[in-house]
Amino acid sequence: MHETPPPVQMVQLLAGFQVAQALYTCAKLGIPDQLVGGPRTSADLANAVQSDPAATTRLVRTLASLGVFADAGDGRYALTPLGQTLVTDAPGSMRDLALMWMETHYDAFGHLTEGVRTGRPAAELHYGAPFFEWISGQPEQINRFTRAMANLTDGIKSAAAATVELPGAHTVVDIGGADGAVLAPLLQRDESLQGIVFDLPHVIQAAEADTKAFGLGARLTAVGGDFFESVPEADAYLLSMILHDWHDENARRILANIARAGRPGSRVVSLELVITADDQPHMAKMIDLTMLGMLTGRERSAAELEQLVTSAGLQFDGITATPSPISVLHATVL
């Protein structure tokens, strides 16, 4: 097999914006949902989702060449395991993430050049305000963001979260926990635990029904607040890809508030994407680009995470790998 020439490789990379829009269009129209029952022709799909038949054929054909669909013969297309991730509410679905990224991140990345020149997030340049400040006034996008984070939990975070154990803990606070999707399985595995989902009031309000749907009753409660000001007292703290949203000073403030609120010996567990020193592909490096474009935060190396934790007054206990791209950082309140 001949190696793809560098110019062709570059064209494929540059076409990434088209692929992202094609995936968004596919998810938005609900085309993968229509293939759950089996292969269908593009004409059938167009009729089902009320789109143009010729345009639909070209869209599906392109995505089939990328493994999202498969040619099933006789002009029919079938769903692949990759395409299954765009099916609404399917296990491992990334549909809401696809919709959220393309509706809130895509246009903002048009300002990336200026962002790199100035050091300011591209999203802030696009929206005229920090991303989280802007989205707080967009109820539909708050809901989309929460569902997108649930997609990540289902498809990626859950494998890392499943390795977390908190022996001896009685109350665990999920800092920035949104709908409690990371915390709830931990409570389901350990019936002795009480859980508190702690997030901004408007996030808690938007996710209230989802939190109750876990059926944990009084064992899972939701509290609104600002983790930059204070956090509830507990003997265990869980953070799920929260620190990466913020620059070092703000991330340190979150950890320092945990150090103040926690009891001596309280455990801190944080799910983190850890940057490696090599040039091999890793999800941490791509999400670091997302942070560069959207927020003031970043992904960090193991050494940077250790320095951040200790500078906040916590004891750094190490980082463990998991079956997912996400690692688990362990720390203790002194």
- φ, ψ for residue 299, nearest 5 deg: -80, 155
* Cβ neighbours around 130 below 10 Å, total: 16
Q: Which residues contact 251 (CB under 8 A, 6 or more apart)?
A: 243, 297, 308
Tell me which residue of 53, 313, 283 sits closest to 157, measured CA to CA: 283
List active site positions. 244
Q: Which residues contact 121 (CB under 8 A, 6 or more apart)?
A: 115, 130, 131, 292, 293, 294, 295, 296
Secondary structure class of 305 (helix, strand, coil)? helix
Q: What region, left, alpha or beta, does residue 78 occupy, with left being phi > 0 and alpha being psi -120 to 50 degrees?
A: beta
DSSP state string for 47-72:
HHHT--HHHHHHHHHHHHTTTSEEEE
- φ, ψ for residue 12, nearest 5 deg: -65, -40
Per-residue tokens: 19: 């692929």
